[in-house]
Structure 1
Amino acid sequence: MTIRDDQSIGLNRSKRRPLRIHRAFTLIELLVVISMMGVLVSLLSSGVQAAREQSRRISCANHLRQQSLALHQFHDQFGRLPFGNDRGAGRNQSWAAAVLGQLEQPEIAGLWDRKVAWNDATRNLQLSVTVLPVFRCPTSVNDFPGDTDYAGVMGSALASARSLVGLDINNGVLIGSSPQRRTAVTLTEIVDGTSQTLMIAEVVDRLSSEHGLWADGRSAISHDNGGINVDGSGEIFSLHPAGAQVAFADGSVHFMTESMDPSLIGALCSRNGREITPAIESHD
Structure 2
Amino acid sequence: MIQQNSRRAGFTLVELLVVIAIIGVLVGLLLPAVQAAREAARRMSCSNNFKQLGLAMHNYHAAYNKLPLLGTGTHPPTGTNTWSGLTNSSNMRLSALVGMLPFMEQQALWQQISNPLLLRTDGSTTNNPGGTVPWPAMGPTPQNIQYPPWATEVAAFRCPSDPGKGLPALGRTNYVSCTGDSAINNRDGYLNVRAGTQVPYVASTGTANTASASMRGAFVMRKQTGFRDILDGTANTIAMGEIATDLGDKDVRTIGGRLAGNNNTAPFFNDPLYCRNTVPGIDPERPMFWGVPTNGSADGRGFRWADAVPLFGQCTTIRPPNKELCGMSGSDRNLSATMSSRHQGGVHVVMADGAVKFITDSIESGNQSVGNVRSGQTGVRAPGAPSPYGLWGALGTRASREVLTDGF
Could you say whether these structures have the same fold, taking a TM-score greater than 0.5 normalized by the shorter chain as the test?
yes
1:250 matched to 2:353? The reply is yes
1:169 matched to 2:214? The reply is yes
1:133 matched to 2:223? The reply is no
| Paired letter, 1:247 | V
Secondary structure of the structure 1 residue equivalent to 2:299:
helix
1:272 matched to 2:404? The reply is no
RMSD: 3.0
Q: 1 or 2, which has the higher helix percentage? A: 1
| Counterpart Cα distance in 2 of 1:203 and 1:25 | 53
Q: Match of 2:323?
A: 230
| Counterpart Cα distance in 2 of 1:191 and 1:84 | 19
1:154 matched to 2:155? The reply is no
Shift of 1:42: 3.1
String of CA shifts for 1:125-183, please: whole Å, max 9, x gaps: 3211111000010111212341101111111129xxxxx98713211112211xxxx4x
Distance 1:153 1:166, change over 3 A: closer
1:85 matched to 2:71? The reply is yes
| Counterpart Cα distance in 1 of 2:141 and 2:103 | 18
Shift of 1:250: 0.7
**Runs of 5+ unmatched residues, structure 1:** 1-23, 159-163
Q: Match of 2:231?
A: 191
| Counterpart Cα distance in 2 of 1:148 and 1:165 | 28
Shift of 1:223: 1.6
Distance 1:50 1:121, change over 3 A: closer
Q: Structure 2 length as normaliser, TM-score?
A: 0.53
Matches within 5 A, 1:1-284: 39-86=25-72, 89=75, 90-113=91-114, 117-119=140-142, 125-144=147-166, 145-157=170-182, 167-177=212-222, 182=223, 184-206=224-246, 208-210=298-300, 212-218=303-309, 219-223=312-316, 225-231=318-324, 234-262=337-365, 263-277=390-404, 278-280=406-408
Q: How many residues align?
A: 242
| Counterpart Cα distance in 2 of 1:120 and 1:142 | 18
Compare 261-270 and 226-235 and name the one that shifted more: 226-235
| Counterpart Cα distance in 2 of 1:261 and 1:193 | 20
| Paired letter, 1:231 | E
Secondary structure of the structure 2 residue equivalent to 1:175:
coil
Shift of 1:100: 1.0
| Counterpart Cα distance in 1 of 2:347 and 2:149 | 29
String of CA shifts for 1:188-222, please: whole Å, max 9, x gaps: 11111111110111111147524631111122324
Task: Indicate the structure (1 or 2) with the bigger Cα radius of gyration.
Answer: 1
Q: Structure 1 length as normaliser, TM-score?
A: 0.75
Secondary structure of the structure 2 residue equivalent to 1:156:
coil
The answer to whether the 8 A contact 1:93-1:117 is kept is no
Shift of 1:25: 11
The answer to whether the 8 A contact 1:204-1:232 is kept is no
Shift of 1:40: 2.9
The answer to whether the 8 A contact 2:349-2:359 is kept is yes
Shift of 1:111: 2.3
Identity of aligned residues (%): 29
| Counterpart Cα distance in 2 of 1:63 and 1:222 | 18
